[in-house]
Amino acid sequence: MAGAAGEIGDRAELGGCAPLNVSNEIEGVTVMTSKMVRLTGPALAGACLMLAAGLAPATAADELRIGVIAPMTGPFAQVGTDMTNGFKMYLDQVKSNFGGAPVKLIIEDSQGKPDTAVTKAKKLILEDHVQLLVGGVLAPEGYALAPVSTAEKTVYIASVPAADDLTQRQLGNYPYFIRTGWTSSQPHHPLGQWACEQGYKKIVAIGADYAFGYEVVGGFQKAFEDCGGKIVQKIWPPIGTKDFGPYIPTIKSDADAVFSLMVGPMALQFPKQLRDSGYTKPIVGGGTSYDEAALPFMGDEAIGDVSALQYSAGLQTPQNEAFVKEFRTKYGKVPSYFSETNYTTALMIDDVMKETKGAFPGPDQFVAKMAALKIVAPRGPVSFDDMRNPVQNIYIKKVEKTKMFGYDKDELWNVVIKTYPNVGQFWTYGKDAFLKQPVYSRDFPPCKYCQ
């Protein structure tokens, strides 16, 4: 009897049926627990074994365990698939071996909800004992996962969530947080500058009504207006809007162009409905309005529209060409930035692990080593600023129907028309000046030229 209880105690330590998390064991609660196990006897052993049967077994010490959180069901399932495919492709390339450490990848479905993302993150940390947490999609997921990483002392790599403040005003709260994607406003500062240089004087902004939309529109507006342009109207359709009928007629006709920020299915509907209404002026779009998660499903009405992001599948470099071709052969779809950023995240993790010869250096060291990396990814050269956000090229890209990379069909591609090299999250404003202003919101920057 005592022997059996002892065994259960051992299993608990290994994580097969751990009753408590690590911090509790330090406080000596395990001692009490194993006593209670002994008291409650074989019934418990049965229950415990039943539970253990469904769980991951304890893992070897030198294995690197990575938990990826992505929406595999719900409206963002396509994005989740793009993300995990990018990560898996890199693992396949290196045969799941990072600098000598075998990699165990565990994918959990966040269902696109912050609550569920937190629950699944805790499962990955407490049950599977992952050393690295990667992923999340929406900004709220990023905001939800970052505190978990602090509380559980586990590295969290935000490959997609773009909420500005995570690497700006709130970074101090999250010592184990690092971002490999982008901040919402990062590509849109250069885009505002570019739009101004095209001679646009007045632009109407129409964006999805939530924090990501405010930050994208805010970044564009700030740079555009600093250069002399005017945002004359802001329209905020709710996220998920599919019928823009009520919004399109209100667009001011004396503007030179429209700036649109659409996400998910909205991106497919807006250009179509705007063009159908007879609007012929240029459309400039935020990153997610025309990225390759949406572009393959768009029609010819999108041709000529311009957007900005840190990645384009149509980027003409040998490295990207090879990446696109391999991805397309494997998964039957052109990679989107969601795929590229997760592929690159895997590559960066591999680089750190090569440096440490396959030994996980602990969360502090890992974040420090990763932030010191300078690599060339499919998107181009990437390094990090001192707030653990990537410094990278921003591509201004135009939707064109063309043949690319030797594919024999005419397809829609985001053709790069201008590159802003090594763009950081603070653009040309400088870190201190930038951080003094509040985070971009519905009311900031204020719409000075709206009537």
Q: Residue numbers of the site for another protein (CB under 8 A)?
A: 15, 17-21, 24, 29, 33, 36-37, 40, 44, 47-48, 51, 54-55, 72-73, 108-109, 111, 113-116, 118-120, 122-123, 126-127, 138-140, 143-144, 147-148, 151, 163, 173, 209-212, 239, 441-442
Report yes or no: 337 and 292 within 8 Å, Cβ to Cβ. yes
What Cα–Cα distance (Å) separates residue 200 from each residue in 216, 230, 284? 18, 9, 11
Q: Hey, what are 326's tokens?
A: 């391999």
How many residues make up the chain in this entry? 451
CB of 312 to another protein, least distance (A): 27
CA distance 443 to 441: 5
Q: Is the CB of 125 or the CB of 404 nearer to another protein?
A: 125
CB of 119 to another protein, least distance (A): 5
Q: Which residues are within 8 A (CB) of 53 and not within 5 positions of it... i.e. 6 or more apart?
A: none
Tokens of 440: 């971009």
Kindly state the tokens that stand for 276.
């159908």
Judge residue 346's burial from the number of C-beta atoms within 10 Å of its C-beta, 0-12 exposed, 13-18 middle, 19 or more buried.
Answer: buried
Cβ closest to another protein, residue 147 vs residue 381: 147
Q: Is the CB of 154 or the CB of 392 nearer to another protein?
A: 154
DSSP E strand stretches across 9-100:
64-70, 97-98
102's enclosing H/E stretch is: strand 101-109
Burial bucket for residue 386 (CB in 10 Å: 0-12, 13-18, 19+): exposed
Tokens 């998390």 found at = 21
Q: What is the DSSP string of 137-201?
A: -SHHHHHHHHHHHHHHT-EEEESS---GGGGTTTGGG-TTEEESS--TTTTHHHHHHHHHHTT--
Q: Tell me how far, at minimum, the Cβ of 446 lies from another protein, in Å.
A: 15
Q: Smaller CB distance to another protein: residue 34 or 341?
A: 34
What element of type H or E holds 79? helix 77-93
Least Cβ distance, residue 189 to another protein (angstroms)? 21
Query: Cβ atoms within 10 A of the Cβ of 44, count?
Result: 16
Q: How far is the CB of 292 from another protein (least distance, A)?
A: 25
Measure the CA dihedral 235/82/143/430, to 10°.
-70
Minimum distance between the CB of residue 188 and another protein, rounded to whole angstroms? 18
Cβ closest to another protein, residue 69 vs residue 232: 69
What's the min distance (Å) between Cβ of 29 and another protein? 8
Query: Least Å distance between CB 354 and another protein?
Result: 31
Give the separation between CA 214 and CA 219, rounded to whole angstroms. 8
CA dihedral over 191, 291, 380, 96, signed as positive or negative: positive
Shortest approach of another protein to residue 165 CB, angstroms? 9
